[in-house]
Amino acid sequence: MKKILLIVFVLFMNINAFSQKTQIAVLKYKGGGDWYSNPTSLPNLVKFCNKSIMTDIDVNVATVDAGSPEIFNYPFVHMTGHGNVFFDDNEIDNIRNYLLAGGFLHIDDNYGLKDLAMSQMQKVFPELQWSELPYSHLLFQKPYVFPDGLPKVHEHDNKAPQAFALIYDGRIICLLTYECDLGDGWEDQRVHGDSDEIRLKALKMGANIISYVFSY
């Protein structure tokens, strides 16, 4: 079954490659949460990655429904928000098949999303457990080194940033970043008024995530 899913994913990506540049997407989900938060985040991250780590990603970021087969067009899907999230049975199957076929889901807790997103993803992969990534993980080592793990962009509850992952066959398939607000750091400077230093750290961490997605 895994081989069939991988073939489907590769076919989608190959068809997409003939028609346009590789795109990444924002996940549209149900439950009432503001999935549309941080609209300038991903375009800015794409521009940074294309310039700094020589990716060739379309700056026009797509939006994809959690239950849509179009999710297979995107090697990287980003999920964010503050409120509730809910996956129905069709969405659970769709997200599971997408991730098993080689896709990657990044959940960035904009504040209040962590526990809800974790519980919904546990429905997608009941056999997997969330693991906190150590600072020594490859995700924090290349192309940019983060000896203390995730950078802190915004303070909420005086907690250290944490990176949690669902890992399948040795590969991160879902990454949840918590207490760091990476997506806020990727936004236009005028939105949150973050310093150039903070924004650069956030963008570099984002580049590490994108680099991992396209390498493993």
pLDDT tens for 125-140 read: 999 999 999 999 999 9
Beta strands in 169-209 (DSSP E): 171-178
- Helix, strand, or coil here: 213? helix
Domain ranges, residue 54: 2-215
Q: How far apart are CA 126 and CA 122, in angstroms?
A: 5
Q: What is the mean pLDDT of residues 51-68?
A: 98
Residue 121 pLDDT > 50, yes or no?
A: yes
**Average pLDDT taken over every residue of the chain:** 91
What's the pLDDT at 189?
87
Residue 16 pLDDT > 80, yes or no?
A: no
What's the pLDDT at 57?
98
Residue 8 pLDDT > 80, yes or no?
A: no
* Domains of the chain: total: 1
Q: What is the mean pLDDT of residues 84-88?
A: 95
Residue 11 pLDDT > 50, yes or no?
A: no
24 close to 81: Cβ distance less than 8 angstroms: no
pLDDT band at 211; cut points 50, 70, 90: very high
pLDDT band at 83; cut points 50, 70, 90: confident
Q: How far apart are CA 190 and CA 112, in angstroms?
A: 24
Find which of 9-13, 15-19, 42-46, 194-198 is predicted with most confidence, using mean pLDDT.
42-46
Q: What is the mean pLDDT of residues 147-169?
A: 92
Least confident interval from 29-38, 41-50, 58-67, 141-150: 29-38
Identify the CATH number of the domain in which residue 188 sits.
3.40.50.12140
pLDDT band at 93; cut points 50, 70, 90: very high
Structure tokens at 42: 């991903």
Residue 111 pLDDT > 90, yes or no?
A: no
Residues 6+ apart with CB under 8 A from 98: 9, 71, 72, 77, 105
